[in-house]
Structure 1
Amino acid sequence: MKLSTLLLSTLLAASLNAADQNASNEPKNVKMEGVGYIKQLGGTLKVELEKHMKADPTGVGAFGFCTAKATEITE
């Protein structure tokens, strides 16, 4: 479970950083709304990540899942 925590933390940090970069010129309320959506997405991804970790205890499948989702989110 430590690997899943690390992967989720990395994914959330990357998402928050991307949101911060994209929202730097927008008013604070819009930026905070975006952060809220990212946190909601993080919760959803955590559930999916737990499923991948149970299916593949090595964490390779979860890592691939996180990489794909991070790419999808930041595009």
Structure 2
Amino acid sequence: MAHGQPSYPLKDGEVRKQRELGGMTLRVLADRCAAAGEPISNSQLSKIERGLNRPRPALLVTLASVFGVDVKQLVETSGS
């Protein structure tokens, strides 16, 4: 966690699944996040997809919005 910001564990493969369901490349997803006010690089998105990084809360909300899903669908919750 950088700078003490909270981050949330994502469901394995869910970001990639949602991106692919939407027919988006990493570049398209990065562009849509930037258009929504959350600029991010392709490489950072790739790290999030592979579970190497966790998104900041604002980026998590943006990803859910771009995918048209509820944040809960992306986040690992106890019992899921």
- TM-score if structure 1 supplies the norm length? 0.33
Q: Which has the larger radius of gyration?
A: 1
- TM-score if structure 2 supplies the norm length? 0.31
